[in-house]
């Protein structure tokens, strides 16, 4: 197969290359959970999957909620998504990963 033919198959959606990453999470604000992400929806997304996961890990470590009481800024259910808001598997294991996982209800 010629490279151009392979590129056409890829471009037609047979294999979609991931791009434009964001870190999604729940944040405890004003006594309720809110869904948020960084960079913001209107900001330029991260270009590296590895960088996105490293930022997610550091963010998770900084906002670990205390199981007894929640405080403003606690975070939960941190994960990486692509430009189409699809969850991205962790590059180190090939499995979906959620940091600071918590069962919560968002209003």
Determine the pLDDT at residue 70: 83
Buried b (16+ CB within 10 A) or exposed e, 42-69: eeebbeebeebbebbeebbeebebeeee
Q: Total domain count for the chain?
A: 1
Please tell me what DSSP assigns to residue 99. Answer: B
Whether 6 is in a domain gets the answer no
- Domain ranges, residue 88: 19-107
pLDDT one digit per residue (tens) for the chain, 107 residues: 899 888 887 777 666 678 899 999 999 899 899 999 999 999 999 999 999 999 999 999 987 766 678 888 889 999 999 999 999 999 999 999 999 998 887 66
């Amino acid at each position: 197969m010629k490279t151009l033919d392979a590129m056409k198959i890829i471009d037609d959606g047979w294999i979609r290359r991931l791009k434009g990453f964001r870190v999604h999470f729940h944040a405890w604000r004003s006594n309720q959970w809110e869904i948020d992400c960084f960079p913001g929806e209107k900001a330029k997304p991260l270009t590296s999957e590895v960088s996105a996961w490293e930022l997610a890990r550091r963010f998770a470590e900084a906002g670990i909620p205390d199981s007894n009481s929640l405080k403003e800024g606690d975070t939960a259910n941190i994960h990486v998504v692509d430009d189409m808001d699809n969850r991205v598997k962790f590059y180190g294991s090939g499995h979906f990963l959620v940091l600071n996982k918590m069962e919560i209800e968002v209003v």
